[in-house]
Amino acid sequence: MKICKKCGAHYPDDKIFCLDCNERLSDKLSASEEQKVRANLNEQMEQMYNKTDPLYVSKFDKTIGALAIVCAVVALAFLIIRHFTDQIIGFLPFAILWFILSALDALIPRLTWGLEKIRLSFFINGADDAEPGTLYLMGRKISFVSMFILGLAALLKSLFL
Ligand SMILES: [Zn+2]
């Protein structure tokens, strides 16, 4: 692989001049340099792809989703222990429910969007092809974050009060 120093275009080894700007191309890249360029390109492609997918699961979504799963497991453990030791269960079942809903919405946005489309199909035609709008996408983040906070509140209240 060769690279044009002026515009950054990539060419096969047998090319001598850049087709876009007629600049003389650099020497052939070494194997490690070429690997770096390719990795960089792959990353750029992935970012472009993610930007065009409105229901892309971001790092933030993954973090909240993972936390919600951990908290659901903790709440479930306390629920089981308290059930068998005849202690007050409190809001633990609600905590588990909120955490599971939060994790589902954070990690599988297509699931909630699919349900929303079913709801929409009662009111409009062509709901199948509908794309989520900015407001829906914002609402989605607000909803899974608030469900996580509700779950946390229910868990803490059950454990310490
Ligand atoms: Zn060029």
Q: What is the mean pLDDT of residues 86-113?
A: 94
* Cα-Cα-Cα-Cα dihedral sign, residues 143, 149, 151, 154: negative
Q: Taking 90 as the threshold, does the pLDDT of residue 106 lie above it?
A: yes
Distance from residue 42's CA to the centre of ligand 1 (Å): 21
Annotate 55-85 with b (16+ C-beta within 10 A) or e (fewer).
Answer: beeeeebeebbebbbebbebbbebbeebeee
Which residue shows structure tokens 């939060």? 102
Ligand 1 centroid distance, CA of 9 (Å): 6
- For residue 37, pLDDT over 90 is answered with no
6 C-alpha to center of ligand 1: Å?
A: 5
Q: How confident is the model at residue 130 (pLDDT cuts 50, 70, 90)?
A: confident
Percent of the chain with pLDDT over 90: 53
The answer, as to whether pTM is greater than 0.85, is: no
Where residue 153 falls (left for φ over 0; alpha for ψ -120 to 50; beta otherwise) is alpha
Question: H or E segment at 10?
Answer: strand 10-11
Q: Say how far apart CA 134 and CA 54 lie, in whole Å.
A: 9
- Nearest Cα to Cα of residue 101 among 57, 150, 138: 150
Question: How many angstroms is it from 24 CA to the middle of ligand 1?
Answer: 8
- Integer Cα distance of 38 and 30 in angstroms: 12
C-alpha of residue 47 to centroid of ligand 1, in Å: 24
Q: Which residues of 142-153 are buried (b: 16+ CB within 10 A; e: fewer)?
A: ebbbebbebbbe
Closest CA to 101 of 139, 69, 63, 74: 69
Q: What average pLDDT does the segment 102-117 reach?
A: 93
CA of 44 to the centre of ligand 1 (A): 19
Distance 15 CA to ligand 1 centre (A): 12
CA of 8 to the centre of ligand 1 (A): 6
* 68-84 pLDDT, tens digit each: 999 999 999 999 999 99
